[in-house]
């Protein structure tokens, strides 16, 4: 009989694609999601993009009664339920910690009573803070957080403790976390809590640290979603993408189809238990470069990215993934190039509309002193 999977938060962007990936490989899929308006719009309606074969249960991961119902007959749990967004987490602290940290604790209490074969938890590149760096002499070391004085002067690059310039390198899973936002803190809570409880109770647990995922089904009207969706929302409304700092921040962008496949492999590979994996695209781009590529894919080349020279609290300068561990253990290799992925995204976007709430979110941050 096909194994039954539960995806908490599975009506969201990545969860909905994971559901399709699992269905195609013979799993039965149930989703628990509270369908918050910021992501799904008003009315708690089932998303049109959610595969009709998915069993949807509307409920909150913090509700033990809803969880007990959702966990009935379940063999595998993917824990994706979370409030997402660095900027918003810096002024909705209680909400983020309640959903992300408390929600994970409630789920784990239920799993202790109803053990499953494997728990896969979605984490984030944000837990690293700044990525890893190399000194001029070749030594590998973490960066020192940039000061407000430095940022206000438009001095964007990170340096060592003694002021030495540093060169960013791919960040591996063993880098010590540097939590620069409440969101990052809550995601680290999620992954560590799952590992601690998993080991204590014999619940094989896998942590997946997602880098910048993009693709169809992103919440285009949510100004705290992924940067590509934010750029797309601006462009669809005839507005230029807004790029913080000088736009030369280095990032790793990964297709949601590759993310979904990596998550399936994390369940199917016995040796993945109790391990942590970066999930990235394996290539490096600047944020400005990607903003231009999104505009080109949408046929909006005339809308040149606007360099704001602004810094948002919780943002980091450079971070991109070392995916060698996922390659070795999971057999994971990104298959969707950025060019192909953006073409696919553009095709989907041609059927979508979006509310451009980017300036609204930036004003909220500025009013709280979180945008300088």
pLDDT by residue (tens digit) across 231-243? 988 998 999 999 9
Average pLDDT over residues 141-154: 86
Question: In whole angstroms, what is the distance from residue 310 CA to residue 247 CA?
Answer: 10
pLDDT digits (tens, 9 = 90+) for 177-204: 999 899 999 999 999 999 999 999 999 9
| Whether the predicted pLDDT of 6 surpasses 80 | yes
Contact (CB, 8 A) for 317 and 249: yes
Question: In whole angstroms, what is the distance from residue 319 CA to residue 212 CA?
Answer: 10
CA 317 to chain centre: 17
Short-list 185, 201, 258, CA closest to 266: 258
Spatial CB neighbours of 310, under 8 Å, sequence gap ≥ 6: 244, 245, 362, 371, 372
Which domains are present in the chain? 4-367 (3.40.50.720)
DSSP-derived 3-state class of residue 308: coil
Average pLDDT, rounded, for the chain: 93
Question: In whole angstroms, what is the distance from residue 39 CA to residue 55 CA?
Answer: 19
pLDDT digits (tens, 9 = 90+) for 13-60: 999 999 999 999 999 999 999 999 888 888 789 999 999 999 999 999
- Which tops the pLDDT comparison, 350 or 326? 326
| Whether the predicted pLDDT of 65 surpasses 90 | yes
Alpha helices in the chain (DSSP H): 13-24, 37-40, 64-70, 86-89, 93-96, 103-113, 148-152, 182-201, 227-236, 256-268, 287-297, 324-330, 338-349, 358-367
Question: In whole angstroms, what is the distance from residue 334 CA to residue 281 CA?
Answer: 6
DSSP-derived 3-state class of residue 242: strand
Alpha-carbon torsion angle 133, 138, 140, 141, nearest 10 = -70
Q: What is the pLDDT of residue 224?
A: 72
Pairing of strands 285-286, 250-251: antiparallel
Tell me which residue has tokens 């910021």.
38
Q: What is the DSSP string of 15-37?
A: HHHHHHHHHHTT-EEEEEE---H
Alpha-carbon torsion angle 246, 301, 17, 52, nearest 10 = 140
Short-list 311, 359, 355, 27, CA closest to 148: 311
> 38-52, 87-101, 140-154, 345-359 — which is least confidently predicted?
345-359
304 falls in which pLDDT band (50, 70, 90)? very high
Question: In whole angstroms, what is the distance from residue 12 CA to residue 34 CA?
Answer: 10
């Amino acid at each position: 009989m096909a194994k039954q999977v539960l995806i908490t938060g599975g009506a969201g962007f990545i969860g909905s694609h994971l559901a399709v990936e699992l269905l195609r490989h013979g799993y039965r899929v149930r989703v628990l999601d509270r369908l918050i308006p910021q992501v799904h719009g008003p009315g708690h309606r089932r998303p049109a993009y959610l595969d009709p074969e998915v069993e949807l249960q509307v409920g909150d991961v913090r509700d033990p009664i809803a969880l007990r119902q959702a966990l009935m007959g379940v063999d595998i749990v993917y824990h994706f339920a979370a409030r997402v967004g660095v900027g918003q987490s810096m002024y909705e602290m209680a909400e983020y910690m309640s959903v992300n940290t408390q929600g994970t604790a409630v789920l784990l209490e239920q799993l202790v009573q109803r053990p499953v074969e494997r728990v896969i938890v979605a984490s984030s590149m944000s837990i690293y803070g700044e990525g890893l760096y190399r000194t001029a002499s070749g030594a590998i070391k973490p960066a020192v957080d940039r000061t407000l004085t430095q940022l206000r002067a438009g001095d964007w690059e990170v340096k060592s403790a003694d002021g030495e310039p540093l060169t960013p390198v791919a960040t591996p899973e063993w880098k010590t976390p540097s939590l620069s936002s409440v969101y990052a803190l809550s995601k680290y809570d999620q992954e560590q809590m799952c590992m601690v409880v998993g080991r204590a109770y014999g619940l094989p647990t896998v942590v997946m640290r997602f880098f910048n995922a993009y693709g169809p089904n992103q919440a285009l009207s949510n100004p705290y979603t992924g940067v590509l969706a934010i750029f797309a929302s601006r462009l669809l409304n005839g507005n230029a993408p807004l790029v913080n700092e000088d736009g030369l921040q280095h990032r790793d962008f990964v297709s949601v189809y590759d993310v979904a496949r990596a998550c399936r492999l994390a369940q199917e590979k016995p040796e993945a238990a109790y391990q942590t994996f970066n999930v990235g695209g394996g290539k490096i781009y600047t944020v400005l470069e990607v903003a231009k590529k999104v505009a080109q894919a949408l046929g909006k080349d005339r809308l040149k990215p606007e360099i704001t020279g602004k810094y948002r609290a919780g943002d980091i300068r450079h971070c991109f993934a070392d995916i060698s561990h996922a390659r070795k253990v999971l057999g994971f290799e990104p298959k969707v190039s950025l060019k192909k992925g953006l073409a696919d995204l553009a095709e989907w976007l041609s059927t979508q509309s979006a509310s451009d709430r980017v300036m609204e979110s930036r004003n909220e941050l500025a009013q709280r002193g979180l945008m300088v």
